[in-house]
A and B are shown apart, each in its own frame.
Chain A
Amino acid sequence: MGLLRWPTGSDRPGEGTARRRTRWSWPDLVVALGMLVALYAVIRVGEGTTTSFTPSRTPEIDTDPANLPYYAARSLLRMFAALALSLAFTLVYAYVAAHSRRLERVLIPALDILQSVPILGFLTVAVSALLALFPGSMLALECAAVFAIFTSQAWNMTFAFYHALLTVPRELDELSRDLRLTRWLRFWRIELPSGAIPLVWNAMMSFGGGWFFLVASELITVSGTDYTLPGVGSFAGAAIAEGNLAGMGWAIAAMAVLVTGVNVVFWRPLVAWAERYKVEQTEASQVQRSLVLDFLRRAYWPRLLARACAPLRELTMRAGRVLGRDDGPLQVDLRRRRAGDVAFWGVTGALLAWGLAGLAGYLDDHGGLSVFVEPLLLGSLTLARVVVLVAVATLVWVPIGVWIGSSPRLTRIAQPVVQVLASFPANFLFPLATWAFVRTGLSLNVGGIVLMALGAQWYILFNAIAGAMAIPTDLREAMDDLGVRGWQRWRRLIIPGIFPAYVTGAITASGGAWNASIVAEVVTFGSATLTASGLGAYIAHATQSGDHPELLAGIAVMSLYVVALNRLVWRRLYRLAQTRYAW
């Protein structure tokens, strides 16, 4: 699900979902059906083998704080493995989508839908499928966890890079063809560098959101079996199960260190380094800096490494020549193109029909289309929670964000803090909140909103700050000068001024809330289990009991809700923001 999106502030490159394809077209429908078939296929693969599966020895988690560094390392490894996977996926998928006219019509709507599928849905599907492939193996669980984190990162990164490929400056495209660069050379010298900045920013933001799914994937129940992977998340889980508050505290501290540490040691230097890929040929007014990068730049070994790698680079550039020149024929043979189109869509249609027939048969065996009715109804409850969450978070955080963003000094302090808060996996805090609900007797039907908000609200605050910062000082001064204050000032200056950034934040918050609903509508603390009625709880229940038709229906319906909400509300607001309220 599109959990993360970078605000549209002036100096923040990056692109989100709401940008492309605002009209419905028939490939969208084809692709949507295709995705449904794919989901069905994966679930079937998993289903076939769960019966023969003997529960693996789940490793015991030792809650001695001395083991925490080891667990933290395991978690970190998972995060970076997922990042590497996401990067590889991004480069290939976006490249193909940007360069193949036919595949683009399928790949991009598919990506749009993938963004709307709840990530924890991917997780459960992946666990069943991978355990089917590698029965009883820990590696399968590791792969499933990495895959879940991957699904929280890859879509945004792919969209960002795809968009960058489409918007390679015209003169650079002409240069590449005029000098008859090889495709390989064009990719490494022109396309990847010009997409580097949006790619890095989106990867950083997606990585921040990935922690949530890391925690969720380390402790998971599928088909009545609990699976545990050694990591910070499972450490916290074990501590809660023992009622070990100190252990819980240690885990939270370790998580905070991990999130900030990776930011300082990895992302800040990377962002600062990516500055060299700015296309504008002037010195930037606001330069991204990193002390770690400055330190690395003083060191000698990177240069040594570069020199050592030069022959290798030379070799790959030569080898890359086999991929051909960046020089398509000037004239297209229309008849051949038409024939290719017919063949392509014919094969696509046949595969789709075959899959749909299988799906229809499967559903027929399991109660028919009526399985969709309950999730559709429950979805409206979760939708109501999401709406309340966004509305309340807006009323609370927008004024605070504007207040912070209007003061450069406050912003300098608050922005990194909010960024870490947004990255901090909120599900870490769910047990504490659950404990409070149990004590106060608050129903999870309401409390669930609070749980969902724990993670989602920060995007609204973060973007409100960014939006307020983007309001030009001279406009502020002009308003002061004219004595425009109070509600009039909000109506005439602040709301229109922060609108684009706010919309981005609200889209992200809404996406995050949908995702979180799967873990926020059913929570356990010790022996107490609280359940809210909603689509999230429905999916969580289907996962635990291993009811595959219900799981399929739940995931499909949630994706449908998210897609509908995006198309009917967020995209319109986003477009309005871009056309009417952009600076």
Chain B
Amino acid sequence: MRTELLSVRGLTKSYAGADGELPVLAGIDLSVAEGEIVALLGKSGSGKSTLLRCLAGLIPPSSGTVSYRGEVLRGANPGAAMVFQTFALLPWLSVLQNVEIGLEARGVPAARRREAALRAIDLIGLDGFESAYPKELSGGMRQRVGFARALVVEPDVLLMDEPFSALDVLTAENLRGELMELWESGQFPTKAIVVVTHNLEEAVLMADRVVVLGSRPYGTIRASYRVELERPRDRGEPAFAALIDEIYRTMTGRGPAEAPLPPLGRDLEPARRTPANTPLPPAGVDALSGLAEILLQHEGSLDLAALSEELSLEVDDLLPLVDALDLLGFLSVDGTLLALTGTGRAFSTADVQESKKIFAAAALTLPLIRLITTSLAHSADGGLRYGFFRDILAGHYTSEQVAQQLEVATDWGRYAELYSYDALHEEYTLDPGHRPEPET
């Protein structure tokens, strides 16, 4: 049995919402042992970065514990160092000074500090850049500084928060490859790695274990996969593709999964949907029309993977659009196959005025938009304050989520010409041309 470095027991994390605590992570149990690379994989909003910060001891769990070598963390994790998505380099320090800073904090004398920093710089392929300043470097080189800075303190665990996602595809591929070679070569100064990513392929390329986090209604560990493939891993291998496919189904919540899925708005009867159980996906109307248009060009149906390839967009970025079209009843989803419905076709072939009407009819089936429209119709002067709706949603969402829900509802409602919103006075008013159909 290899030594357990990090262990998480019964962790929940919630943030103060507008009306009480709202969970972002719940029931997390996780263990990271010596010699392994663990990938935390999930869509945005699944709480994977929050979990990583709990592991680093940067934020406290609301309940449950995080331990390092059996000791419960009471502050920053002494055995971990982090690599940031945005690099987090100090622009006023040279590469060498940036790398040295962790040793300086530990009170290492100047000469030994320099020696260790130069070794880390050499290891990570940065030699020649010692005296450069971060702003002179390309993104890839900057992230190398981030790696060198974390490695130089020789932490037991290297924590990486989407380390390659701010880089272009080629740079990311190259840097990831070099990092894995280094890991394999045994020269790597840390004993384990935890990497957060939303990129499925990246997770399978790097990790010994892929932990999938789900996001509805809050982050839980949905499944965990062991990756036994030989390194360096080959994307063309059938086993690789099969594993990707399997994890993918778990991620999108449409395949066999070990944990039961939380209820989704789409699976409920329209009458049982409420603004709380049917959040509006963050998608702009133009992008929705665009996606419907593209589907139409492909005879109305297309596989999600093919779509993501054609648009060179991450699946992660496409999912809110797909969810939105699905909720509106413009799209049906079968596994990963997307198909336009009759209304969806009508929506994307009609002229602007007609498609607005179709959109309005569909949008009125969505609980939040329906709520706003009917409330406005019942209000004495046809106007209601933003705060009114914010308070209604406050019990179910964090304040950021409330703002986002209302932003989407405002955008869709304006487009559908159901109501308008005056940002200066923070007030919704009913569109004069529209009277909502009576409630059922």
- Interface of A toward B, CB cutoff 8 Å: 169, 171-172, 174-175, 177-182, 185, 189-190, 193, 276-283, 310, 314, 317-318, 321, 325, 327-331, 580
Contact = CB atoms under 8 A, between A and B. Distances in A.
Interface of B: 53, 56-60, 73-78, 80-82, 84, 86-93, 101-102, 104-107, 110, 133-135, 142, 149, 153, 424
B85 to A, nearest CB: 8
A312 B418 CA distance: 69
A171 B88 contact: yes
A330 B75 contact: yes
B73 A330 contact: yes
B76 A172 contact: no
B135 A180 contact: no
A346 B153 CA distance: 46
B81 to A, nearest CB: 6
Contact of A179 (B59, B87, B101, B107): B101
B92 A276 contact: yes
A179 B153 contact: yes
A175 B84 contact: yes
Given A185-B101, A193-B90, A331-B60, 14 more contacts: A174-B84, A178-B81, A179-B105, A179-B149, A185-B104, A185-B105, A281-B89, A281-B91, A282-B135, A328-B75, A329-B74, A330-B60, A330-B74, A331-B74
A174 B58 contact: yes
Contacts of A193: 90, 92
Contacts of B58: 174, 177-178
B105 to A, nearest CB: 4
14 contacts: A171-B88, A174-B82, A178-B58, A178-B82, A179-B149, A180-B102, A182-B105, A276-B133, A310-B110, A314-B110, A317-B104, A325-B105, A329-B75, A330-B75
Contacts of B90: 172, 189-190, 193
B59 A330 contact: yes
A179 B102 contact: yes
A171 B84 contact: yes
B92 A175 contact: no
A179 B80 CA distance: 9
Contacts of A329: 74-75
Contacts of B60: 330-331
Given A182-B105, A281-B135, A174 B74 contact: no
A331 B81 CA distance: 21
Nearest to A173: B58
B153 to A, nearest CB: 7
Contacts of A181: 101, 105
B91 A279 contact: yes
Interface of B is mostly: loop
Nearest to A321: B107
From B57, B74, B101, B142, residue with most partner A Cβ within 10 Å: B101
A325 B73 CA distance: 16
A280 B135 CA distance: 8
Nearest to A313: B110
From B53, B60, B105, B142, residue with most partner A Cβ within 10 Å: B105
Kindly list the 7 A-B residue pairs having the minimum CB-CB distance in the complex, ordered from nearest.
A330-B60, A171-B88, A179-B102, A181-B105, A327-B75, A175-B88, A178-B82
A280 B106 CA distance: 28
Contacts of B74: 329-331
Nearest to A169: B88
B77 to A, nearest CB: 8
Contacts of B102: 179-180
Contacts of A277: 91-92
Contact of B88 (A172, A317, A325, A327): A172
Given A281-B91, A329-B74, A330-B75, A180 B82 contact: no
B145 to A, nearest CB: 11
A178 B150 CA distance: 9
Contacts of A278: 91
A580 to B, nearest CB: 6
Contact of B107 (A169, A283, A318, A328): A318
B424 A580 contact: yes
Given A330-B57, A330-B60, A177 B76 contact: yes
A189 B53 contact: no
A182 B107 CA distance: 9
A102 B271 CA distance: 50
A279 to B, nearest CB: 6
Contacts of A179: 81, 101-102, 105, 149, 153
Contacts of B88: 169, 171-172, 174-175
Contacts of B93: 189
Given A277-B92, A329-B74, A580-B424, A171 B86 contact: yes
From B80, B91, B424, residue with most partner A Cβ within 10 Å: B91
Contacts of B77: 178
A181 B102 CA distance: 7
Given A174-B88, A175-B88, A189 B75 contact: no
Nearest to B106: A180
A102 B417 CA distance: 49
Contacts of A325: 105
A177 B77 CA distance: 9
A278 B110 CA distance: 27
From B57, B76, B81, B86, residue with most partner A Cβ within 10 Å: B76
B174 to A, nearest CB: 20
A194 B400 CA distance: 27
Contacts of B87: 281
B181 to A, nearest CB: 26
A185 B76 CA distance: 16
A279 B84 CA distance: 16
Contacts of B84: 171, 174-175
B135 A174 contact: no
A470 B16 CA distance: 39
B142 A281 contact: yes
A471 B104 CA distance: 46
Nearest to A179: B102
